[in-house]
A and B are shown apart, each in its own frame.
Chain A
Amino acid sequence: MISPYDWQESISQRAQYIENRLRGGSPVVGISINAGTLLHTYRRQVRKVHEVYDRLMFAALGQQADVESLRLTAVDFAHQEGFARSEEDVTIQRVVGFALSNPLRRAHGDITAAPFVMCALFAEMNDAPEDDLFFTLRYDGDFDAGSRYAVVGGTPEAEERMLAELEKAYKPDLTVAKAKALSDKVWRIGADVEGSGEPAPALLQDTRPETGFLDRATTRERKFRLL
């Protein structure tokens, strides 16, 4: 028999366990500029920045299998909806707020199942940078919406430092190359988990940068590409 006390205890232990696991994760930086929207991170072998739908992409830190199952749920939902209704009806708000947040919340509350270790950043491209949206989604189903730029990192302190840098340097008219350079700079700030001034060595060892880009101007069917 599980008492309410046990539940509370185990939920807080769960959160602590997940946050410890996320601490060493590679942060993700999202920037929205006139030319399009980009997500930047570092990866080892497996790709990290993924296209979810025509104007949607995402990248996450955390356990690979958990991230993959989240990704497939998002892709399934987006394509079912896009086919049944219209491409336009597949929005970040519906994918994150409706299709993912609720099941994540339930999974997190189920203390008999393995916890979901991940923290994700979703991006939606629209007609202009000020209309673009970023959603961050946490392991417990909590999500936050924002525009212009967004980050997810291993710790709240790292995220704060990353956002402070973006606040200083962000302009919507940055070129793609400059936006990529800025996101790399911000990633390095976020990867500095201990606050030592250098990215954590584990995050740079055998890794390479990966930048996903949704192109606002292209006439091609496929708006997503890796830079």
Chain B
Amino acid sequence: MIENRTRSFADLVGFPGCLKIAPAGTKEVRGTTVLALRFDKGILNLGDRRATAANFIMYDKAEKVLSLDDTTLIAISGSFARSVEIVRYLKHAFKYYARTQLQEMSLEGKLQEVSRALAGNLPATLEGIGIFLPVVSARDPRTGDFGIYFYDAMGARFESGDFGAAGSGAERIRGVFDFVSRAKGPFDKRSLNDVLRDGLTMLDIAAQLDTATGGLEHIPPVAKTLTAKGISAVPETELKKAIREVATA
């Protein structure tokens, strides 16, 4: 008999059952502001580093901008434990697909996989814990186009043009993006240096308006870029210089 089954990582590890739902009332670690901004050569992702549980600051060095592969960045907001687990799942799902099928998963396929992961996480979201909302920045290797995508808790995907943001602080600064974009011109026409300063300013404003967002002064935020060359962190000296300029402005 010839068996013909599609190999999926979800079947292999039994997703989403492999992620256990914490009982209701668990105090979870969450709260964030993450941003994705276009610039002329790609996409910049910024994330504050604070992780909170209720009014406790649990940790001030959280990594909220993570790479899924060499052409996809994900910025996470919501339950930290849940997001990290789902990011691990997605990373493995992409790798597993490429290695078993001997071809890269298409961008559409990857975005769909993120939707499925969110839909699978819905029971946890409905429990009131474990909500997870990502912003995905991707470069389609087939066309060379960049895209920023955000999601709702049920897995619906929305493509946003020049910028995207998620997390408790993002609500408070959403209008600022439009203002900056109208006042200074579209983000995708401007240089990284310029966009980095705008992004840091917005993160600083979010930190002032939202207790769950860490500021710039103690620990620098995570700053990563996605370009045609791949993913890299903004060099520390450059980031610190930009932070000093923004703080004194």
Which A residues form the contact surface with B (CB < 8 A)? 47, 50-54, 72, 75-76, 79-80, 82-84, 219-222
Contacts and interface: CB of A to CB of B under 8 A. Distances in A.
Interface stretch (B56-64, B91-99, B193-201): B91-99
Interface in B59-104: 67, 69-70, 88-89, 92, 95-96, 99-100, 102
B6 to A, nearest CB: 12
A50 B9 CA distance: 18
A191 B141 CA distance: 38
Contact of B12 (A51, A53, A79, A221): A79
A47 B89 CA distance: 27
Q: List 5 A-B pairs, minimum CB-CB distance, nearest first.
A: A83-B92, A79-B96, A220-B70, A75-B99, A221-B70
Interface in B16-75: 18, 67, 69-70
Interface string B223-244: 0000000111000000000000
Contacts of A221: 67, 69-70, 231
A56 B174 CA distance: 44
A219 B100 contact: no
A80 B89 CA distance: 10
A138 to B, nearest CB: 24
Contacts of B95: 54, 79
B70 A222 contact: yes
Nearest to B102: A47
Interface string B112-154: 0000000000000000000000000000000000000000000
A134 B100 CA distance: 22
Given A50-B99, A75-B99, A221-B69, 6 more contacts: A75-B100, A80-B12, A80-B13, A220-B70, A221-B67, A222-B70
Interface SS of A by simple majority: mixed
B190 interface: no
A79 B92 contact: yes
Contacts, number: 41
Contacts of A82: 92
A80 to B, nearest CB: 6
B70 A72 contact: no
A82 B96 CA distance: 11
Nearest to B9: A79
23 contacts: A51-B99, A53-B99, A54-B95, A72-B7, A72-B100, A75-B99, A75-B100, A76-B7, A79-B9, A79-B92, A79-B95, A80-B12, A82-B92, A83-B9, A83-B18, A83-B88, A83-B89, A83-B92, A219-B232, A220-B70, A220-B230, A222-B69, A222-B70
A76 B12 contact: yes
Contact of A83 (B13, B70, B100, B230): B13
Contacts of A53: 99
B21 to A, nearest CB: 18
A220 B230 CA distance: 7
Contacts of A52: 99
B132 to A, nearest CB: 17
A54 B92 CA distance: 10
A75 B102 contact: no
Contacts of A50: 99, 102
Nearest to A54: B95
B11 to A, nearest CB: 10
B97 to A, nearest CB: 10
Nearest to B67: A221
A50 B101 CA distance: 11
A84 B13 contact: yes
